[in-house]
Amino acid sequence: ISCWFPLQSLLSSMKQACEILTHDPEGGAARIPFETFSFLYSYLVSIDGEISKTETEAFLQGIKEQADKYSGMVLIRHF
* Total structural domains within the chain: 1
Packing angle between helix 34-48 and helix 53-68, nearest 10 degrees?
160
Nearest to 56 by CA among 37, 75, 72: 37
What is residue 57's three-state secondary structure? Answer: helix
pLDDT at residue number 9: 86
pLDDT at residue number 50: 82
Model confidence, pTM: 0.86
How far apart (Å, rounded) are the C-alpha atoms in residues 23 and 8? 25
Low-confidence ranges of the chain (pLDDT < 50): 1-2
pLDDT at residue number 8: 78
pLDDT at residue number 1: 40
Please compute, for residue 67, the number of CA atoms within 13 A of its CA located in the half-sphere on the CB side.
21
For residue 70, what are the domain limits?
A: 3-78
How far apart (Å, rounded) are the C-alpha atoms in residues 19 and 48? 21
pLDDT at residue number 43: 94
